[in-house]
Amino acid sequence: MLEFKNEIPFVEDTSIHDIMKVSTTPFYIYSQEIITQKVKMTKKILGNNIFFSVKSNSNQAILKLMNSLNIGADVVSIGELKRSLSAGFASNKIIFEGVGKSKEDLIYAIQKNIRLINTESLEEIKLIQKLALEKNKFVNIGVRLNPNIDGGTISKISTGKKTDKFGIEISEIENIVNLVSSCNNLNLIGISCHIGSQISNVEAYKNTFAEMKKAADTFVSLGIKIKHVDLGGGFHIQYHKDDPKFEIEDLKGELDTCFGSSVYELSFEPGRYLIAEAGVLVTTIINTKQNGGINYLIVDAGMNTLIRPAMYGAHHEIVSISKKMDNSKTYTVAGPICESSDIFVKNILLPKQTMGDTLVIKNTGAYGKVMSSTYNTRSLPSEVLVNKDNFAMIYSPNKIEKDIEEDIIPSWL
Ligand code: LLP
């Protein structure tokens, strides 16, 4: 998404230099065109029942764009539900997931008549029945199943194995049916799963589809009319040139083979796949130094701005936008946070950099800003949306003084 025209860095037809005139770094930029293309292509292959995983990027401008592209929202908290409603999603285009929904979350979701609440335990089903009865409502539910499949992703984002905390074991189907049959306010119409994130293993998806088809048929044979089969998200994108290549076309054949002649309506909950590649993080070099023979570039974005490298060992390509690719030198790019894990990348070749130069960290549209924090009492990053030669700030953080004022000092101090 980053392009150089006469050595000036552009996102679509907007120069990053122009954005830097109105926003201080670090900030995220998203390309409306790339998001639009990804959504359209995903719908073309997987059909219309796409629910954007709001946790990957919950800015309301992004949600409004997703809604305008006619997809739904997959939320995991009352906050994400409120954001999605305020961005314009109709309630019947919102599904509620999550291994831990509070009573408050559930009551709000019930009152808003959302499309489906995907439950994650028998206890939760009982709680939803109780709340629905109290509110005199009928609630559509789905059950998230745990298909016991290893998606082959890193353990921190793997969710489909029996020992993971997610979903209900498939062996519990009969118990689910017995329970739901006694819950007069619940309508069980769907099953769902999500085996993890950043998954490129088509075989794992294939096995998941087979398990889900079998599970849906079992529910039907026990008298439950399953309408929706939600196959989750988790689609892989290429962060590094050596990462496996994955396109959702790769799943199409498996989906057709598995579900081809069935009546189930298939749905999906991608996050990263729709938005990761549409985002970059722009950051300024605030210090340079050499320690133990390593050339450090210290930038103003840190693990508080983009936590993926520190948390998951994730790779994000970094490019220089201030200098041409001559005099290249090996650098380690680090943030300003007082932790040794605050490193974005080690030993990359960049043109010779000096204090004040700008770097761009790529593929940061998903799980970037949403996971940022004010750690070390630093401001959150801004966000900018580009649409051709137009751009707009879509998030501008509180001044740090405002955050400081929010602490409450007890009277005895
Ligand atoms: N559905 C459910 C139930 C999920 O838990 C998730 C992600 C998704 C859909 C969307 O997954 P996606 O298509 O974006 O892979 N912070 C981590 C990723 C955590 C994903 C959590 N669940 C990262 O930065 O890689």
**pLDDT per residue over 285-297, tens digit each?**
999 999 999 999 9
Q: What is the extent of the structural domain holding 385?
A: 2-29+278-405
Of 85-89, 155-159, 396-400, where does mean pLDDT reach its minimum? 155-159
Centre of ligand 1 to C-alpha 110, Å, is 24
324 has a pLDDT exceeding 90: no
Domain count along the chain: 2
Query: Distance of alpha carbon 175 from its chain centroid, rounded?
Result: 32
Q: Does ligand 1 lie within 6 Å of residue 160's CB atom?
A: no
302 has a pLDDT exceeding 80: yes
How much is the pLDDT for 153?
A: 80
Residue 413 lies in a domain: no
- 235 and 90 share a domain? yes
pLDDT bucket at 179, cuts 50 / 70 / 90: very high
pTM of the model: 0.97
pLDDT bucket at 60, cuts 50 / 70 / 90: very high
| Helical pair 173-181 and 202-221, crossing angle rounded to 10 deg | 40
Q: Does ligand 1 lie within 6 Å of residue 96's CB atom?
A: no
Tokens of 58: 């919950």
Q: Does ligand 1 lie within 6 Å of residue 196's CB atom?
A: no
Residue 115 lies in a domain: yes
How much is the pLDDT for 163?
A: 85
Asked if 53 contacts 267 with a C-beta cutoff of 8 angstroms, the reply is: no
- Which of 246, 272, 275 for mutating ligand 1's site (highest number of atoms within 8 Å of CB)? 272
198 has a pLDDT exceeding 80: yes
338 is a catalytic site residue: yes
What whole-number distance in Å separates Cα of residue 213 and Cα of residue 223?
Answer: 16
Centre of ligand 1 to C-alpha 191, Å, is 18
Residue 412 lies in a domain: no
Arithmetic mean of pLDDT, 244-249:
91
**pLDDT per residue over 362-403, tens digit each?**
999 999 999 999 999 999 999 999 999 999 999 999 999 999
Domain end position, chosen among 275, 290, 317: 275
The DSSP letter of residue 4 is E
- 258 and 295 share a domain? no
Q: Does ligand 1 lie within 6 Å of residue 236's CB atom?
A: no
Cross-strand pairs, 268: 50
Domain end position, chosen among 256, 275, 294: 275
- 204 and 242 share a domain? yes
- 47 and 89 share a domain? yes
Centre of ligand 1 to C-alpha 233, Å, is 7
28 has a pLDDT exceeding 70: yes
Domain end position, chosen among 275, 309, 331: 275
What whole-number distance in Å separates Cα of residue 272 and Cα of residue 48?
Answer: 18
Centre of ligand 1 to C-alpha 234, Å, is 6
How much is the pLDDT for 325?
A: 64
Q: Cβ neighbours of residue 306 under 8 Å, at least 6 residues apart?
A: 281, 316, 344, 361, 364, 368, 371, 372
How much is the pLDDT for 340?
A: 94
**Of 183, 193, 258, 338, catalytic:** 338
Tell me what the pLDDT averaged over the chain comes to.
Answer: 96
Which CATH number is 257's domain given? 3.20.20.10
Q: Tell me which of 152 and 166 has the higher pLDDT.
A: 166
- 215 and 306 share a domain? no
| Percent of the chain clearing pLDDT 90 (strictly above) | 92
- 195 and 243 share a domain? yes
What whole-number distance in Å separates Cα of residue 85 and Cα of residue 88?
Answer: 5
